[in-house]
A and B are shown apart, each in its own frame.
Chain A
């Protein structure tokens, strides 16, 4: 049995999205900036896609800027707020310790340029509170950027509350909602979100396309200079097939959101319950406010990469935050940020589900994971030391 359980990394494109893309190669191949009717037809298709995305976010179409994906949207949002903050001598940015690298590395760059960055602690409940944000805001804070939901451990942040705190303090609020859009009910106006990043390939759309929502009136600076596309804020001939496929996927995801959530949440809970029976393991992430498809565990005494390779051979595609999967000697910054020590963080497993997964697939995962974990534990000197009392269990 083949089970794809790595939907947080990327998703299979939906038949509907693929269908929507095809005419953009064959019929609507014009350049939306061209004056002739072939171009203007493509322009209409583009604006129709923009309207669909806007409807799912609860904003106006003109507030949606298409990008090459989530990373570019994150970069542009943060750099824009920083540049305009610096003009008013505001050079302090608040974020969290478990953001995606698209955010953290952009913040590092700004730190090197003289910005001061506060990364909120996430070890308490594997989440942050709006109060933490409130306490961190200063006179010179030019941006709060907190992810909507964490890609590794699935915690959903209290976005509406953080939005309210930021609004009250008059600080722009950006959220990296790459893992949330298409999976959670979002309304940028009601939740006081000023900027939001999304990415097509996380909700069964194509890769290499995303969008940045920016509340009307907030200034944007270009990350990519050139032509006047996207109201002059993002140069480059539009990736029309990608944009249209993303919009179709998002429209579907939003229309079926409740139904999909119900199904995926039930699969997730079954998986969490089953895996919890493995001795000396721990669930990572907020147990209550959690993405419908996220299952993340640490297993003591084993290393994640060998776990993934063996699972792959049993047909299960998953991911891990171990060092060996990252190409460095350190395990995932997210697992370290929630307080997992190195020894334990190396033994992590993330299974991320979508509505394409079935109950039979969950049963297969529940059969093979315990087998593989005990196989690896049986050859682990760490496990032997734990069992013989030479080393103390952490989990």
Chain B
């Protein structure tokens, strides 16, 4: 059996939405190079709709695939839809991930939330803090 599903391999070898958006409306970055996984995401938002999204990553195959899939899933969607995206939905859309790679889909969800939080902060839009992960203190990277 192959390590990854066909969908994962497709998104890994042909990642969608790789790149940078200059003048993005929201930018999120999660993970760090120490634990070998960084995801940076850029959002362009118009009238509460995510009109464009790009990502960059320093990560393994499943990380690249997770971010590619997650960005596809929120592109053209409303902010509320993007807020509702779960890591489970990303993993399912990829036809599953190996157990020790599930954190890649978690990172994808957190990166999107962190970019949306950035968007809210920049525009002074009030939000419920509980909806956002505390990325400064997240336990992904054990010391």
- Beta-carbon contacts of B61-73 to A below 8 Å, as 1s and 0s? 1111000000000
Q: Is the interface of B mostly helix, strand, loop or mixed?
A: mixed
Q: How large is the interface on B (under 10, 10 to 19, 20 to 34, 35 or more residues)?
A: 20 to 34
Assess A329 versus B58: contact at CB under 8 Å? Given A306-B12, A379-B15, A379-B64.
no
A382 proximity list for chain B (CB < 8 A): 33, 38, 58
Q: Is A116 part of the contact surface with B, judged by Cβ < 8 Å? A: no
Q: Are B142 and A381 in contact (CB under 8 A)?
A: no
A305 touches B60 (CB 8 A): yes
Query: Given A306-B64, A313-B13, A329-B142, is A380 in contact with B36 using a C-beta cutoff of 8 Å?
Result: no
How far, in angstroms, from A249 to B101 measured CA to CA in the complex?
39
Q: B4-24: which have CB < 8 Å to A?
A: 12-13, 15, 18-20
Among A304, A309, A343, A380, point to the contact of B57 (Cβ < 8 A): A380
Most buried by A among B29, B37, B58: B58
Asked if B76 is at the interface of the complex by the 8 Å CB criterion, the answer is no
With A306-B12, A329-B142 in contact, is A379–B57 under 8 Å at CB? yes
The answer for the CA separation of A310 and B13 in the assembled complex, in Å, is 8
The answer to whether B18 touches A329 (Cβ under 8 A) is no
From 61 to 104 in chain B, residues with beta carbon under 8 angstroms from any chain A beta carbon are 61-64, 100-101
Task: State the Cβ distance, A289 to closest chain B Cβ, in Å.
Answer: 30
Do residues A302 and B60 form an inter-chain contact, with CB atoms below 8 A?
no
In the complex, what residues of B have CB within 8 A of residue A384's CB?
A: 20, 56
Q: How far is the CA of A301 from the CA of B19 in the complex (A)?
A: 16
Contacts of B36 in A (CB 8 A): 303, 322-324, 329, 331, 342, 346
Q: How far is the CB of A305 from chain B (nearest CB, A)?
A: 4
Complex Cα distance, B128 from A211, in Å, reads 64
In the complex, what distance in Å separates the CA atom of A379 from the CA atom of B12?
A: 12
| Binary interface encoding of chain A residues 375-395 relative to chain B, with 1 for a CB under 8 A from any of its CBs, else 0 | 000011111100000000000
Is B135 in the interface zone, CB < 8 Å from A?
A: no
**How many residues of A are counted as interface, with CB atoms below 8 angstroms from the partner's CB atoms?**
25
Which of the listed residues B33, B34, B62 has the most CB atoms from chain A within 10 Å of its own CB?
B33
**Residues from chain B with Cβ under 8 Å of A381 in the complex:** 29, 38-40, 56-58
Chain B positions within 8 Å of A329 at CB level? 35-36, 140-142
Q: Which residues of B contact A217 (CB under 8 A)?
A: none
CA distance A327 to B103 in the complex (A): 12
- Distance of A375 from chain B, by nearest CB (Å): 10
Nearest B residue to A377 via CB reads B58
> Which residues on B sit within 8 Å (CB–CB) of A302?
58
B126-143 contact mask (Cβ, 8 Å, vs A): 1 or 0: 000000000000001110
* Contact, CB under 8 Å: A303 / B34: no
Q: Which chain B residues border A342 with CB–CB below 8 Å?
A: 33-36
Residues facing B in A294-312 (CB within 8 A) are: 301-306, 309-310
CB nearest to B142 among chain A residues: A329
Report the minimum CB–CB distance from B14 to chain A (whole Å): 11
Q: Name which residue of chain A comes closest to B56, CB basis.
A: A381
Q: Name B's A-contacting residues (CB within 8 A).
A: 12-13, 15, 18-20, 29, 33-40, 56-64, 100-101, 140-142
Q: Considering the complex of A and B, which 4 residue pairs feature the smallest CB-CB distances, nearest first? A: A324-B60, A305-B60, A346-B36, A343-B33
| 23 sample A-B contacts, Cβ–Cβ < 8 Å, listed by A number | A303-B60, A303-B63, A306-B60, A310-B13, A313-B13, A322-B60, A324-B36, A324-B63, A324-B101, A325-B60, A327-B100, A329-B35, A331-B36, A342-B34, A342-B35, A379-B15, A379-B19, A379-B57, A381-B38, A381-B57, A382-B33, A382-B58, A383-B58
Given contacts A324-B36, A379-B56, 13 further A-B pairs with CB under 8 A are: A303-B63, A306-B63, A322-B60, A324-B37, A324-B62, A329-B141, A331-B36, A379-B57, A379-B64, A380-B56, A380-B57, A381-B58, A382-B38
